[in-house]
Amino acid sequence: MMTFCEECHEMVAYSTKNVTMEKEIKGKKIEFEAKEAFCPTCKGSLFVASVRDYNLKQMDTAFRTAENLINVDEIQQILDNYNIGKRPLSVLLGWGEVTITRYLDGAIPTKQYSEKLFDILNNPENMDSILESNKHLIADAAYRKGKEALARIKSSELLELSSENKIDSITKYMLINLVEITPLALQKLLYYAQGFNKVFNGTFLFQDDCQAWAHGPVYSEIYHKYKDFGYNPIDLAVSYDESAFNILNSEKEVLDTVIRNFGCYSGKILERMTHSEHPWLVTRNGLSDDSPSNEVIEKELISNYFEQIKQKYNMLSTSDASDYSKDLFEKLFN
Ligand SMILES: [Zn+2]
C-alpha cells in the first residue's frame, strides 16, 4: 500500500504497527487497540484513510463494549440469521422504518433499543413470537422468509445438541458405572471406548478429537470440565435420563467392557499403557515425555491400531478386549 510521505517527499510503501489509543467519549475514557501507519524511511507517522477508518471502528467497538451496547456487526447478524430486511425488522419492533438502517450506518442505539436487539439476537424464540404477533405489519413474503430461517435455526440447534452431548453422556455413563475414577483415568477410558467401538461397531462413539498430551490421550473439553478434581476421584452426583442421552445398546456393551477391563486400573497405570501404544507414540513424534503438546491423534491412527489389536488377539466379541488389557498390563508391570 502506497501513500505520500511529506517528510520524504515521495510515495512510500507504508507499514503499520499496533498502538493503544485513548479517547474520551461522553465523559468516559475509552482505551482501544489501534493501528498507526508510518513511513519505512523516516519512521514518521502518516495519514492513511483506511487506517483512520479502522481506528474509528475499533474505537466504536470499544465504546459499545464498555457500555454494553450492540454493535453494527451484531445487528447485521440479526438480519442474516433471520433472513429479514432492515425495514421489516424496524417495523416488527414497532420502531421508525429507518431505525435499523441508521444503526447500520453507525448511529449508536439507546440502551433500551440495544437490549431489545440483543434479546432477539440471542433468543430465536423471542424473534419468533415478535414475528407472529406483528406479521400483519410486514409483507407476506418477508414473514415466510423469516419463518423458514427460524425453522433452519431450530433444526441446526437440535443437531448440535445431540452431537455435542454424546461425549458428555458417555462420560456420565462411566462416572455412574465406576466406583471411583480420576480425571486422568477417565480420559484413558474414553480413548479405549472410542477405539473399541470403532472396531466392534464400525463407528466412532463421538466426533471429538483426542490430543497427545504428556500424560497420554486427552479429550480437552472433558478435561476442562473435570480438571478441578486434580488427581482425586471425581466426586459428583451424576444422573441422566437414558432416553435423552441416546447411547445405543451395542455401544453400552463396549462401554461396559472398557469399564470392566480397563476401569480396574489406576490413571497412572492407564497412562503407561497408552504411552506404549502406537497412536500416542506416533503423534508425539519423539517429544520427551513431559513436553506439552496439543497435537491431534488422527482418528485413522486410532482406528488402524485397534483393528490390528482385534486381529492380533483374534477378538470375536467385545468381551475379548480383556485379552488385550491383561496382556498389556503383564508386559508393562511384570
Ligand atoms: Zn518518510
Q: Could you tell me the CATH number of the domain that includes residue 12? A: 3.10.20
CA of 46 from ligand 1 middle (Å) equals 8
The Å distance, Cα 16 to ligand 1 centre, comes to 13
Confidence at 159, pLDDT banded by 50, 70, 90? low
Mean pLDDT value across residues 45-63: 92
Residue 278 lies in a domain: yes
**CA 237 to chain centroid:** 26
Distance 8 CA to ligand 1 centre (A): 4
Number of structural domains found in the chain: 3
CA pair distance 49, 193, nearest whole angstrom = 57
Are residues 114 and 213 both part of a single domain? no
Instruction: Give the domain-ending residue among 138, 154, 175.
Output: 138
Among residues 69, 37, 66, the alpha carbon closest in space to that of 51 is found at 37
Specify burial of residue 77 (Cβ count, 10 A radius: 0-12, 13-18, 19+).
middle
Higher pLDDT among residues 225 and 165, named by residue? 225
Residue 13 CA to ligand 1 centre (angstroms)? 10
**Domain boundary, last residue among 138, 154, 184:** 138
* Percentage of the chain lying above the pLDDT 90 cut: 77
Instruction: Judge if 35 and 173 occupy the same domain.
Output: no
Could you tell me the distance, in angstroms and rounded to a whole number, from the CA of residue 43 to the centre of ligand 1? Answer: 6
pLDDT value at residue 255:
96
Span from the CA of 264 to the centroid of ligand 1 (angstroms): 71
Q: 22 CA distance to ligand 1 centroid (A)?
A: 25
Same domain, 110 and 259: no
| Ligand 1 centroid, distance to 253 Cα (angstroms) | 73
> Would residue 48 count as lying in a domain?
yes
Q: Given phi > 0 = left and psi -120 to 50 = alpha, else beta, which region is 5? A: beta
List the one residue out of 227, 221, 225 whose CA is nearest residue 184.
Answer: 227
Q: For residue 153, tell me if it sits in a domain.
A: no
| pLDDT for the residue 324 | 96
Could you tell me if 128 and 174 lie in one domain?
no
What is the Cα–Cα distance from 56 to 307, expressed in whole angstroms? 58
Q: Return the closest-CA partner of residue 296 out of 305, 309, 285, 308.
A: 285
- What count of other Cβ atoms lies within 10 Å of the Cβ of residue 320? 16
**How far does residue 3's CA lie from ligand 1's centre (Å)?**
10
The predicted pLDDT at position 160 comes to 60
What is the Å distance from ligand 1's center to 39 Cα? 5
pLDDT of residue 155: 78
Q: Of the residues 67, 97, 112, which one is the last residue of a structural domain?
A: 67
Closest Cα partner for 270 from 333, 189, 334, 190? 189
Domain extent, residue 308, equals: 163-333
Residue type, 51: V
Q: Identify the band that residue 235 occupies on the pLDDT scale cut at 50, 70 and 90.
A: confident
In the reported structure, the alpha carbon of residue 19 is separated from the centroid of ligand 1 by a whole-number distance in angstroms of 19
Q: How far is the CA of 44 from the centre of ligand 1 (A)?
A: 6
Whether the predicted pLDDT of 242 surpasses 80: no
176 Cα: distance to centroid of ligand 1 (angstroms) = 70
DSSP letter string over 180-226? Answer: ---HHHHHHHHHHHHHHHHHHHSS-S--PPEEEETTEEE-HHHHHHH
Question: Which of the residue ranges 53-67, 231-245, 255-269 has the most confident prediction, judged by mean pLDDT?
Answer: 255-269
Domain co-membership, 320 together with 250: yes
User: Rounded to the nearest whole angstrom, what is the distance from the C-alpha of residue 273 to the centroid of ligand 1?
Assistant: 63
